[in-house]
Every structure is written in structure tokens, then in C-alpha cells.
Amino acid sequence: MEDKKPFEPAVELMSLDQIIPLNEFFSINIWSRGEISMQGYLNSETRKAAKTLGIELVYDNEDGFLRGSNGKVKLVLSAQ
């Protein structure tokens, strides 16, 4: 049986902070199932963050947000 490493939110956030600017997001939620969701405004920094994380952003016609996920991090971006 495989030993699964427990999800450590502080470690995950510190790791993310090393590769993307977390201060560009106005909401960061950490879910116990190991997913991190972040909301922010669409700008060059949040677009770079999506690219760095391997997240393809898709426009949602219903609410006007850009959304994407890489299975671990979910982004929701809106126009200001």
C-alpha cells in the first residue's frame, strides 16, 4: 500500500509563493482535499501565473470570468 503524504497548506502556499506573485490574487482558499483556489483580476501578472502553473484559462460566457485548473490549483480571473 502506498504511503500518501499529508496535505500541508503552509508548505503548499510557500511553494507557490516562490514561483508566482500571490499578492496579485485577492482571494486564496485552501481546501482539505488538497486543492487551492485563487481569485484575482486579469492582468499581465495573473496571466503569467496561469502560464507558469500550466493552467489554460477558458472564458465562461455565463458569468464573464476566465477559469482554469491544473488539478491542484484553480484560478478564476475577472476583468476589473
pLDDT in tens, 17-70: 999 999 999 999 999 888 999 999 999 999 999 999 999 999 999 999 999 999
The phi and psi torsions of 7 (rounded to 5 degrees) equal: -70, 125
**Residue 17 is assigned to a structural domain of this protein:** no
Q: Could you tell me if residue 19 is inside a domain? A: no
* 56 inside domain: yes
The pLDDT score that the predictor gives to residue 10 is 86
Number of domains, the chain:
1
pLDDT band at 5 (very low <50, low <70, confident <90, very high): confident
Asked if the structure places residue 47 within a domain, the reply is: yes
**Alpha-carbon gap, residue 73 to 54, rounded angstroms:** 10
Cell (9 digits) for 33:
482535499
Residue 10 lies in a domain: no
Looking at 1-80, list the stretches that DSSP marks H as alpha helix, in order from N- to C-terminal side: 9-19, 44-52
Quick check: is 15 in a domain?
A: no
The domain of 74 spans: 24-78
pLDDT, averaged across the chain: 91
Q: Is residue 57 part of a domain?
A: yes
For position 43, what pLDDT does the model report? Answer: 96
Q: Are 50 and 75 within 8 A, CB to CB?
A: yes
